[in-house]
Structure 1
Amino acid sequence: MDVFNRIKGGLYGVAIGDALGGTTEFMTSKEVKAKYGYLTEIIGGGVWELEKGEVTDDTMMTLCVAEGILANPLDPMPYIGEQFMNWYRTDPKDIGNIIRHVLATFEGNWFEAAFLTDQYMGQSAGNGSLMRCLPVGLVYDNLTEMDKYSRMQSKMTHYDERCNEACSIYNRIVWRLLQNESLADAIEQEIRHTDYKDILFAEPNCEPSGFVVHTFRWVLNILLNSNSYADTVQKAANLGGDSDTIGAIAGGLAGVHCGFEQIPVTYSSVIIIKDQLNELAGRIFDLREARTR
């Protein structure tokens, strides 16, 4: 499969998982079942009163990371930060508490703002840096660079090392998928020597919460037990909990794996920002190609 198809699939994968899961965020799985049966269509609504096809912070911050890297792939942090602040000033519907505090108190040093937020809140192990890290894996073909910038974009808002590690693992899986490895093999290779290795054998014994470890465990479980892109995002949405973020993270990897052409048109066609995703996919592909020549 060609790389452009995978890049576009990844970006749409995040947005669709986000839009579908946004309907059921903060509900329990029992509440989801009682209200929707088994949700399979993007319908909007939910706690954020989303329009059909509208995305949340998961996708919008992913776009911020992508735009920052595109502005200067050799030194993306100030440009990513500028994108974060521009987005924050739009007063978005959905923004996580950790990220909100960092952006509200930022005074010129991202790492300091993340550290002080960790101290103020007592922790910073949320899933907000994992949900947006995909563009790093799509752009950087060199593993050293990929790991460096995966962790860097994470540390801008999340001081906790568990967040940085999850972003690195995630984009290493992306790297393998872009080398045409199978999804199951890519996941197994990257988690078998980590604390996530038990996911290869058992379902997560935790809630689908915004704690990065819980989120990533459910993402990995869903990916290892799904048979299509649609199956992946539907399972995430019907979990409830932090379903939009779990859907976005799992959907990104599933989209890279299957490529845009295998994502159902019934999903991709309703995403409101699809023109932006199309344009961004082309720019990311062009930058990746230029960097690998």
Structure 2
Amino acid sequence: MDIMNRIKGGLYGVAVGDALGGTTEFMSRKEIANRHGYLTEIVGGGVWSLEPGEVTDDTMMTLCVAEGIIQNPLDPLREIGELFLEWYRSDPKDIGNIIRQVFRRYEGSWFEAALIADLDLGRSAGNGSLMRCLPVGLAYVELAQLEKMSRMQSRMTHYDERCDEACLIYNRIAWRLMRGEELRAAIAAEISGTPYADILTQTEEPDCEPSGFVVDTFRWVLYLLLQSSSFAEVVQKAANLGGDSDTIGAIAGGLAGVYYGFTGIPQTYTDAILIRSRLDAAAQKIWELRVGQLEHSDSPK
């Protein structure tokens, strides 16, 4: 599978999982079943009154990270931050509490704002940095740079080490998938020796809610990826969980999109997304960035 197929699949995978799961966010499984049966189509609505194909903070912040990296791949912190603030000032429908607190406290230093928010809230182990981190895994060829940028973009809003860990594992899986490794093998290699290792042998659902706590979210994401056989199955299962379904769908959909490729995402899903032109532009620029790195390194394609 060519690299562009994987890059575009990853970005669209985030958006599709987000748009599908946005309909059922904060609902229980029983409520979803009563209202939708088993949700398989992007229909909008939900708590945010979404238009069909409209995305939420998961995808929009992912694009901020992608476009910041494109503008300044060697040190994108300032560019990502400016895009975050531009998005925040647009008065988005959906924004996580931890991220909102960081934005309110930002006075020139993202890391300081994240620390203050963590101290004020007493916690910052939400899934808001994991939901947006995939562009790092798509853009960087060298693993050391990928790890550095994964941690940096996470610490801009989330001070908790568990968020760093999840972003690092997630993007290292993406790095392996970009090199053509099988999904299960890539996951196994990166969760071995971590608190998520037991997911590999688990056949029953995780014993945690599909919540916004980063550890719970990531356990569900890994479980869905390992227990599904297609992109559609991954995001549909995520949407029908309820809880933080849009974010779980976006995170799982991102890796599923990298693995199955853009051509592995049903066209009815990709055609429904309202911000296709922005996703297409970001995918093209990330591909160009990646090609440029490969031309100046000995890394395998």
Q: Is TM-score (shorter-chain normalized) higher than 0.5?
A: yes
Q: Percent identical across equivalent pairs?
A: 68
The residue type paired with residue 177 of structure 2 is: L
The CA RMSD over aligned residues, in Å, is 0.5
3-state secondary structure, aligned to 2:131: helix
Equivalence for 1:23? 23
The residue type paired with residue 164 of structure 1 is: D
Moved more, 195-204 or 78-87: 195-204
Alignment of 1:44-55 (within 5 A): 44-55=44-55
2:239·2:246 contact (CA, 8 Å) conserved in 1?
A: yes
The separation in 1 between residues aligned to 2:33 and 2:101, in whole angstroms, is 34
Alignment of 1:63-82 (within 5 A): 63-82=63-82
Post-superposition offset of 1:33: 1.1
Post-superposition offset of 1:292: 1.5
Deviations 1:157-176 (A, max 9, x none): 00000001100000000000
Alignment of 1:95-174 (within 5 A): 95-174=95-174
3-state secondary structure, aligned to 2:240: helix
The separation in 1 between residues aligned to 2:266 and 2:69, in whole angstroms, is 29
The separation in 2 between residues aligned to 1:106 and 1:194, in whole angstroms, is 32
Post-superposition offset of 1:280: 1.0
3-state secondary structure, aligned to 2:51: coil
The separation in 2 between residues aligned to 1:127 and 1:14, in whole angstroms, is 14
The separation in 2 between residues aligned to 1:149 and 1:291, in whole angstroms, is 15
Query: Which of 273, 284, 287 is residue 271 of structure 1 equivalent to?
Result: 273
The separation in 2 between residues aligned to 1:173 and 1:262, in whole angstroms, is 18
Post-superposition offset of 1:195: 0.3
Alignment of 1:1-12 (within 5 A): 1-12=1-12
3-state secondary structure, aligned to 1:171: helix
The separation in 2 between residues aligned to 1:287 and 1:101, in whole angstroms, is 33
Runs (4+) of structure 1 moved beyond 6 Å? none
The residue type paired with residue 197 of structure 2 is: K
The residue type paired with residue 106 of structure 2 is: F
The separation in 2 between residues aligned to 1:102 and 1:30, in whole angstroms, is 34
Q: TM-score, normalised by structure 2?
A: 0.97
2:105·2:116 contact (CA, 8 Å) conserved in 1?
A: no
Q: TM-score, normalised by structure 1?
A: 0.99
The separation in 1 between residues aligned to 2:168 and 2:29, in whole angstroms, is 29
Instruction: List gaps (5 residues or longer) in structure 1.
Output: none
Equivalence for 2:298? none
Instruction: List gaps (5 residues or longer) in structure 2.
Output: 296-301
The separation in 1 between residues aligned to 2:279 and 2:156, in whole angstroms, is 24
The separation in 2 between residues aligned to 1:35 and 1:54, in whole angstroms, is 20
The separation in 2 between residues aligned to 1:224 and 1:25, in whole angstroms, is 22
Query: Which of 195, 207, 210 is residue 209 of structure 2 equivalent to?
Result: 207
The separation in 2 between residues aligned to 1:20 and 1:73, in whole angstroms, is 31
Equivalence for 1:247? 249
The separation in 1 between residues aligned to 2:14 and 2:217, in whole angstroms, is 15
Post-superposition offset of 1:192: 1.4
The residue type paired with residue 259 of structure 1 is: G
Equivalence for 1:34? 34
Deviations 1:121-141 (A, max 9, x none): 000000000000000000111
Post-superposition offset of 1:279: 1.2
Deviations 1:169-213 (A, max 9, x none): 000000000110011110011001100011112231100000000
3-state secondary structure, aligned to 1:184: helix
Moved more, 230-239 or 283-292: 283-292
Q: Please tell me whether residue 260 in structure 1 is matched to residue 262 in structure 2.
A: yes
The separation in 1 between residues aligned to 2:108 and 2:281, in whole angstroms, is 30
Equivalence for 1:220? 222
The separation in 1 between residues aligned to 2:96 and 2:12, in whole angstroms, is 22
Equivalence for 2:299? none
Q: Please tell me whether residue 178 in structure 1 is matched to residue 174 in structure 2.
A: no
Equivalent pairs, count: 293
The residue type paired with residue 27 of structure 1 is: M
Equivalence for 1:198? 198
Moved more, 198-207 or 220-229: 198-207
Post-superposition offset of 1:276: 0.9
The separation in 2 between residues aligned to 1:248 and 1:242, in whole angstroms, is 10
